[in-house]
Structure 1
Amino acid sequence: MEEFYTVAMIISIATFTISTVTTPGPNNIMLLSSGLTFGYKKTIPHMSGIIVGFPFMVVLVGLGMGVIFEKFPVILSILKIVGILYLFWMAFKIANNTSAYEVNKGQKSEPFTFFQAAIFQWVNPKAWIMAITAISIFVTANENSYLQVITIAFIYFLSSIISANSWAFGGVVLKKFIKNESSVKKLNIIMAVLLIASVLPIIFE
């Protein structure tokens, strides 16, 4: 590792990744809501999709997709618009989530699957910004670029494990202080508002 990254650089990457994945954003707010609504166990596929899906996205961006966006910035702009619209739709869904132990005529909302969470990374504006920024800052040598990209993705993988579990567990802890379904509903509405708020800086940048 020292051949292409110093220990100081590894620490710098780790600090960057942990700070970007743990701050409030679409992934984390949705995990908090899922932990609150469905519990930790049912949120594991959602967490796993993020933990695996985002580092995989970082690898693909690092191996060439970033160049495509530099040459054709309109593609990234279109992805941002699609992602923002999707997040508004998700905010609506979260606001209307009910608790997993409530049965309403056999119909109830379901947590994200592994595949849904992994695919979501590709329409998550914050994920694109994080991936492109990390690659542009920390890929410093052409001869070792592939190893550097893999290293960045692996550190993101470890950081995502910490972040995803923390936010999902936070939702579980919140639920312990809630005594009725009405309170769950109100908190999910707050989550939906926070989800929209998390993409406002991207809209007005």
Structure 2
Amino acid sequence: MTTDLLLALFTFALVSSVTPGPNNIMLMTSGVNFGFRRTIPHMLGIEFGFGILLLAVGVGLGAVIHAVPGLQLVMKVASAAYLLWLAWKIAFSKGSSEADAGVSKPITFLQAALFQWVNPKAWAMALVAMGAYVSGDSPLLSVAVITAAFLLVGIPTASIWTGFGIGLRQFLADPRRLRIFNVAMGLALVATLWPMLR
């Protein structure tokens, strides 16, 4: 991979990872409700799940999904159902004080990893990255480089969104404001379904 192509890949990985989407909305909400330390499994789950998704798309899963129209519909329905469930969970999250009492819990490593398989933005990012940056001369090496590029920018960008949430914690210490924020984030997560349903 040439230096220019590698720079373009890292730019795409950074921009697509740091822009709003389901993962980043959930990370910000988790930062508000649970703090940085309790959001780390969520961040690591995103990275693990998305890394596996990238590798799978790179070795041909994306082509199978495009070739089988019924499978695309199943993926869309599963994505919509899971996003709606997560939006409900976010909208009615109880916040950090009640979370410490066991009333509400942050998203786990496994939940975050599995979510990548039904996350429409993750699929779009993986398909575009593999379509644009895989080299015909060394396809497996370029799939590994693409995956590494996304993993290198993933934790810093996830930390930024979690940090945004932490920055809002004091303002959202008022239970009424926290409730409004959580409902707004739940609705924002539902809004991420729009591009998939068009």
TM-score (norm 2): 0.95
**Aligned: 1:48 with 2:44:** yes
**In the alignment, is the contact (CA less than 8 A) between 2:98 and 2:104 conserved in 1?**
no
* Residue matched to 2:62: 66
**In the alignment, is the contact (CA less than 8 A) between 1:94 and 1:192 conserved in 2?**
yes
Unaligned runs of 5+ in 1: none
**Aligned: 1:133 with 2:131:** no
* Residue matched to 1:164: 158
What pairs up with 1:98-137 in 2 under 5 angstroms? Answer: 98-102=94-98, 107-137=102-132
**In the alignment, is the contact (CA less than 8 A) between 1:51 and 1:164 conserved in 2?**
no
Partner amino acid for 2:112? Answer: A
- Deviation, structure 1 residue 156: 0.5
Measured on the aligned residues, the alpha-carbon RMSD in Å equals: 1.5
Alignment length (residue pairs): 198
Query: Which residue among 171, 188, 199 is the counterpart of 2:193?
Result: 199
* Residue matched to 1:190: 184
Percent identity between matched residues is 37
Q: Write out per-residue CA displacement over residues 66-89 of structure 1, whole angstroms, 9 at most, x where no aligned residue.
A: 221232132123112211121011
Report SS of the residue matched to 1:112.
Answer: coil
Instruction: Work out the CA distance in 2 between the residues paired with 1:37 and 1:81.
Output: 29
Instruction: Work out the CA distance in 2 between the residues paired with 1:153 and 1:76.
Output: 23
Partner amino acid for 1:123? Answer: V
TM-score (norm 1): 0.91
Report SS of the residue matched to 1:53.
Answer: helix
**In the alignment, is the contact (CA less than 8 A) between 2:34 and 2:99 conserved in 1?**
no
| Over 6 Å off, 4+ runs | none
Partner amino acid for 1:69? Answer: I
**Aligned: 1:17 with 2:37:** no
